[in-house]
Each structure stands twice: as C-alpha cells, then as structure tokens.
Amino acid sequence: MRLDYDAQFELAAPLPPVGGDFCVSAIRRTMREQFEAMLREIARRQAWLAAGGCRMRLSLGLVVACCVLPGCASVDPYAHAPVTQTLQREDALGECARRFQASDALIDAIGTRDAQEPRVPGFLLAG
C-alpha cells in the first residue's frame, strides 16, 4: 500500500511568544505521533480484513438476520392479551382498537410497514 499525504496547517491564533521554537517542535511531534498512529490503525484493519474478519462478521450477521427477521414479521399484536379483550369491548376504546387493527391490516396488505418500529404482541402502540 502506498499513501501520499500532504497537509498545511494554519494556526487560529499566534503561538505565545514565550514558547517559541519549543511550541513549534511540540506541535510537530504531536502531529507526527497522531499520523503514525493513524497509519498503524490502517495497517491493523487491513490485516484483519486479510485474515477473513469481514467474512466472519458478515456470516454471523446473516445467521442472526435469518433467525430474527421471520419472527418479527409474523407477530400479530391483536392475537394476545390485553388487546384481545379490548377488541371485544362495545365502547369507544373497543372501537379505537378495531380501527387500529383495520389500519394495521391495510398497512400489511400494501406492504408499507415501518421496519424500525417493532410490533409487540398484545399492545397496539409499542414503538
């Protein structure tokens, strides 16, 4: 790997007159140390990728996704208590629950459910 780096830095405020060359050399040394640390991190990450670290992480992620996503997609929040009792009520609360149920059925039929909002069995507003 080849990395070419060229930078110029301008101070926002002048250096204090007391430090002079000492301040300039301290700033240069600190910048050199930070740049060398960045190069070591780049080399470390390249070695990790070359050793197959990315493939292992991707494989684990796919296994977890395949196990978790079908479970989330099949949750019916209206099939569990306490909302099952609310759906049977004849008052305004029951009507509200039935409207939520109809709205969710329409959203599912169209296929526009928000994937980041989990559905919790038995509860209408979980997110």
d(CA 71, CA 15): 62
pLDDT 10s digits, 56-112: 555 666 666 666 555 555 567 788 888 888 889 898 888 888 888 888 888 878 877
Q: Calculate the average pLDDT of the chain.
A: 74
- The alpha helices in the chain, defined as continuous H runs, are 21-50, 53-73, 83-88, 92-110
Give the residue among 77, 86, 127, 84 at the shortest CA–CA distance from 105.
77
Count CB neighbours of 27 within 10 A: 14
- Average the pLDDT over each of 19-33, 48-62, 91-105, 108-122 and give the range with the smallest value: 48-62
Question: In the structure encoding, which two tokens stand for residue 124, read together?
Answer: 């209408």
Task: Please check the confidence at residue 43 and state whether its pLDDT lies above 60.
Answer: yes
Q: What is the pLDDT of residue 82?
A: 83
Task: Please check the confidence at residue 38 and state whether its pLDDT lies above 70.
Answer: yes
- What residues does each domain of the chain span? 1-51, 72-110
Give the residue among 94, 73, 115, 69 at the shortest CA–CA distance from 124.
94
Q: What is the pLDDT of residue 127?
A: 47
pTM above 0.85, yes or no: no
